[in-house]
A and B are shown apart, each in its own frame.
Chain A
Amino acid sequence: MSHLLREHAPITEAAWRLIDDEARERLTPALAARKLVDFAGPHGWEFSATNLGRTTALSGAPSDGVQALQRRVLAAVELRAAFTLSRAELADADRGAEDVDLAPLDEAAHRLATAENRVVFHGFDDAAITGIAQAATGDAVALGDDCAAYPRLVAHAVEALLRAGVDGPYGLALGPDAYTRVLETTEHGGYPLLDHLRKIVGGPLVWAPGVEGAVVVSQRGGDFLLDVGEDLSIGFTAHEADSVELYLVESVTFRVATPEAAVALSP
């Protein structure tokens, strides 16, 4: 039995399939970081840290004439989003109901995807993780609300990356507000702004809940690494007569290898 304790849940195999499929369906559109950065793993639940290949010199030593260096690692973070489902709803699913209420799962999936995006793009100080926007070395430029300026701002970001020797294609992560504005906008002649921005970056443009403003990132590979221990999974916590408590979980670390391979556009 795995640490997820799924076998202890009062949930049939058919209902587990429904829950897993729903989670996958909800998570995939929102997991923006995974569409833009390198992914390593999954290494399994036992994975605890990423090797940074660096050391810290220790002031003390176990004996005279010996120098002590301590290896530095980036410890994995467990991200967990709890949710509760109605057992009556799951029983109805077993009877063939097509309109099962899985809203708490949908909300948990959105929370976890948003958290993963925030860790990757804006970092997580408590876990010593630096995000792409924090690490980006270029001058901070504000995206603003005026969509007409977006092509120029993104083109400048691309030009800054080229100047730094970072070849394309590039990807563009847009926070929800900016993404909605872009979707709603057509330029002169009715050309969708979304397509124009895609042409400028030469790579994917993704809806990125959790991202503030926008981030242009290199897609050449090797610049940003999401290291995953346990990939997104659903586990069982407890149950009552009428409800079952579950959680979405993953364990991750993230590091930026090339800070100059991204340009952040603040909101």
Chain B
Amino acid sequence: MGFDQYHEPPEELPGATRTFARLCASLTEEAEAIGWYEQRLAVESDREALAIMRDAQGEEFKHFCMDLEFLLRRTPLWREIAEGILFQEGDIVEHGEEAEEQAVEGAAERGAPLAGSTSLGIGSLKGVAS
């Protein structure tokens, strides 16, 4: 079994970062599998085989979405940017630029934790209801 989802020595990484890396690796694998099934479906002519592979690709869609949701829940800044891009009509690149700018600036104003910090991440509470 390989451990190449880690870019840094695993023993130096906090447990939460190792879990995060595992789910990132899983997300990549699900995306690859979706792409592979897409290619197989494009060339297959047997209807029964097509039905099985469509069903299998649906599983990969589900796995990809579950991995993504986990990662977004653990990464508020990523989630905020994703909310500005996903399921939106219009220009994807434009939404991406706007979402990134707003989320990064907003994070700075809120006093978001520094990368790698193990603080409680409380920051500013302006606007938080009493």
User: Which residues of A are at the interface with B, using a C-beta cutoff of 8 A?
Assistant: 2, 4, 6-7, 13, 20, 23-24, 27-29, 31-32, 34-36, 38-42, 44, 204-207, 228, 230-234
- A39 and B111 contact, Cβ closer than 8 Å, known pairs A7-B14, A13-B15, A205-B130: yes
- Name the residue on A nearest B121 (C-beta): A231
Cα(A145)–Cα(B39), bound, Å:
77
Q: How many whole Å from B59's CB to the nearest CB in chain A?
A: 29
Chain B residues 104 to 130 lying within 8 A of chain A, measured CB to CB, are 110-111, 113-114, 117-130
Judge if B42 is at the interface, Cβ distance under 8 Å. Answer: no
Judge if B16 is at the interface, Cβ distance under 8 Å. Answer: yes
Is A232 in contact with B126, judged by CB distance below 8 angstroms? Answer: no
User: Which residues of B are at the interface with A, using a C-beta cutoff of 8 A?
Assistant: 14-16, 110-111, 113-114, 117-130
Residues of B near A206 (CB, < 8 A) are 130
Main secondary structure, interface of A, reads mixed
Residues of A near B114 (CB, < 8 A) are 42, 44
Cα(A24)–Cα(B62), bound, Å:
33
Which of B15, B117, B126 touches A34 (beta carbons < 8 Å)? Answer: B126
Is B120 in contact with A34, judged by CB distance below 8 angstroms? Answer: no
Residues of B near A7 (CB, < 8 A) are 14
Is A231 in contact with B113, judged by CB distance below 8 angstroms? Answer: yes
Residues of B near A35 (CB, < 8 A) are 125-128, 130
